Structures are given as C-alpha cells and as structure tokens.
Amino acid sequence: MTSPINAPEGATSPDDAITVSADGPPSDAKVSGGNLRRQAIIAAAIFGAVFVVCVLVYLALVVPGQWFPSASIKTWNATNLTLTRGVGHLAGDELVVTSPDPNSITLLSLVTDFRSSDYPGVAWVVKGLAEDADVRLLWTSDVRPDKLNSAAIEVSGGRSLPTVVQRNPAWLGHIKGLALAIHGPLPQPVQIKGVVATPLGAADVLRDRLHEWFAFETWNGTSINTIVGGADHQEVPLPVLLALVVGLSGLAFMALRRWRPGNFAPSTPAFLATLFLVAWLLLDARWGFNLMRQEQATNALFLGKDARAKHLVNDDGPLFAFIEKARAVLPSTPVRIVIVADADYFRGRAAYHLYPNNVYFNPRSNEIPAATLLHAGDWLLVFQRRGIQYDRSQGRLRWDNGQTVNAELKLVEPGGALFLIR
C-alpha cells in the first residue's frame, strides 16, 4: 500500500512522484538477515576448523606410536597387586599403604606378559603422594630377565602421572613384570587403585583429555576462587585450549578478510568478542555440568539426615565426633579453650563447634601459645597436631621448643586429646 507525495518542482507526470511504502523495503531486511546468518556460519566454520587443526597438531606431537593401534588397554586392579615392601591393606577397590618398610621403601609388584611395542605407556593410579615423592616405575622383560629396569614417575596434585616408556632403551621384548617403588617416608596413607598399560593411540589420548576436562570435581576450599570442573592435573587445560582457538581464529579471520573483504562484513573486534563469548559459554556449560553432579552427590550424602547425622558425614565428621565427646567432659558453664591443629580448617571448625565457650585459635598458624600464656583452669584441645607429648606419670605436657606445662589428660582419641591446665 502506497500513498503519493506532492511532486517536486520539475515533475512532469504523476509517475515521477515519490512514493513511500507502508510496509517498508522488505528486500533490504531479508538481505541483512541472510547476511547475518551467513556470517554466523562462517564464524562457526572458522572456529571449528581451527579447533580441529589444533587437536590434530597436538596428536601429532604427543602420540608416541601408531594413531590407530590394534592392541587394547590392559588394566590390573588393586587385588592383582602384591605389597612386597611396606604395610598396607585392601579397602574397597584400593590398596592403602600406611607406612614403608624399615628402609623407607614401599614396593608393589605384579606379574604381566605383554609386548612392549604394543604398549608405549604405563599409568599407575596412585593418590596421596607427596609432591616431592621419589616414585619409580620398575619392570623386567624377557630380553634381560636378570635386569630390573626403572623410569621416574612424575607427581602432580598428590597423584602419579602416566609414564611414556616407548623411548626407554630397556622397554623391549615381552614385559614380564611391573612394579611401583616409593622411596622415603609416607606423610599420609597412599591409595593405589591399580595400573594400566595403554597403546596410547589417538583415541586413547583424546579419551584421556576428555576425562581430564569433564572429571567430577567436588567443592573444596578453593572452589570460590578458581574454575571448577575437571581433574586436578590436566595435560591441556580446557581454558588454555579455548583461548588458543579463539586467538588463532581471530588471526584466520583477519587473513580471510584481507583476502576476500566483501565476504566478511563484521569488524574484527566484534568477531573476536563473539568467539570469546562462545568460549566462555562452553566453560560455563562445563561448570554447570559439574554443578549438577555436585548437587546429586550432595543429595546422596545429606538428604534425609538430621543435623547431627549431617555433621558426622561432612568433611569435618571425625572432628565433630571428637568435639561431642569433649563437650561431655567440659564443664557446663563456658570456659577458656585453646585449640591447636595442623590444619587451619580444623582449628576454625573446632572453634565453631565449641561456641559459646571462650575459644582461642590462631587462624593462620598451628603455633601453640607460649606456656606462660596458659593458666590453671584453661583447657587445651588438640586435634591432628604433631609434636605434642604428654607424660602421664608426671602430668606434664610438652610441645615445640621444649615448652612444658602441668596438665591433666581428660580425653584421648585417635588423633585428638583434651587437657585441663593445672
């Protein structure tokens, strides 16, 4: 539907009059919408192509053997292992080693029989290791049955990392036995779930990376400040990969726009901002997936329990159980209680559970107040704090730097004790 507008001077006929359509010029809108969709497809194609190229280059760099090997993964669980040196026990599907032998050596072994050329990688599934632990992979082969070969195992986040042994000159013939050796003391129990021999093909490497990216990570003390989701150690962190893909996609876009400027209408900043937003949303999707699994785990742990039962299954459950027993010993009226523990978390939580008593604890250090600051009638609650000694016959409590004080032991439990200062 159109309406005439008075013809300007010089118009010779009504046909020369300017007309305005009430519906507007639909053709331009359709072209604009189609162009926007086209640009979105081009952006997605660039992002996807760069991502695939990055993955292929990574595989070319890290796959040690054939991309598509015929061998399948071999797995041995904790029940297949023999604890040759050290003290430990089976707990569920894990072998828990609590202490090494008198020579500070922990050794686990198993009998195997596979071709070394088919399995360039070996991964011991171990957690609870110290960051500076001396951990080694040991093996024997039919090439030199009398020789014990070894390779260092890296540790990150308290866990052992997979070891690529293909380039080791001793990785030959049929592997007749594997072993894990840990040299030195064990600050905490070490859990061994088993060992895996892998052909490390392209599919194995990609599966390991996906497992690292989407492994379930429970809430911890740093969750509020860090990206949540994925394994503690990641060979290629997902944020780093996405940042690389966004950067390379931007370079590819600028090169293509310079080559064919008519086909790439959006500005470079707008294109990069869009890719940045997409990458951000992908990371948020992983976070949401982890949050959903955390919600399920939280429901399974706490749903249907009363307040006391919830405390007992919480991270500080053993502490809460000890505080319950301590409350039964403490006077009914508030008293002054000094709390000491190696972990900051336990000191703060113990204070919370002991209110409204007059509690004192150092939030930043496990240091015990000087003996001169402890007075008769004070109470000292100790939970998982090393370096404290008590002589029951003399009633003397001793700790760092040889400080002593008269005290009466009122309660003792594994890992905890309660003293009344005299």
Q: Is it the case that residue 230 has pLDDT exceeding 90? A: no
pTM exceeding the 0.75 threshold for the entire prediction: no
Q: Is it the case that residue 413 has pLDDT exceeding 60? A: yes
Q: How does strand 174-183 pair with strand 105-115?
A: antiparallel
Band (19; pLDDT cuts 50, 70, 90): very low
Which of 6-15, 167-176, 387-396 has the least mean pLDDT? Answer: 6-15
Integer Rg of the chain from CA? 33
Band (411; pLDDT cuts 50, 70, 90): very high
Q: Are 268 and 253 in contact (CB under 8 A)?
A: yes
Output phi, psi for 2, to 5 deg: -125, 160
Q: Residue 109 corresponds to which tokens in the numbers above?
A: 């072994």
Band (349; pLDDT cuts 50, 70, 90): very high
Task: Give the H or E element holding residue 375.
Answer: none
CATH architecture designation of domain 74-200: Sandwich (2.60)
| CA pair distance 264, 280, nearest whole angstrom | 23
Instruction: Tell me which DSSP letter residue 11 carries.
Output: -
Owner of token pair 């972990």: 343
Q: Is it the case that residue 20 has pLDDT exceeding 50? A: no
Count Cβ neighbours within 10 Å for each residue of 36-57 and write b for 16 or more, e otherwise: eeebeebbeebbeebbeebbee
Domain assignments of the chain as residue spans, ordered by start: 34-63+201-303, 74-200, 312-421
Q: Are 384 and 346 in contact (CB under 8 A)?
A: yes
Q: Is it the case that residue 300 has pLDDT exceeding 60? A: yes
Residue type present at position 233 = H
Mean pLDDT value across residues 412-416: 91
353-361, long-range: CB < 8 A, 24+ apart: 353/319, 353/320, 353/323, 354/323, 354/326, 354/327, 354/381, 357/330, 358/334, 360/336
Nearest Cα to 318, choosing from 350, 361, 356, 352? Answer: 350
Q: Residue 136 corresponds to which tokens in the numbers above?
A: 């080694």
Nearest Cα to 272, choosing from 51, 57, 46? Answer: 46
pLDDT of residue 265: 59
Give residue-wise pLDDT tens across range 325-334. Answer: 999 999 999 9
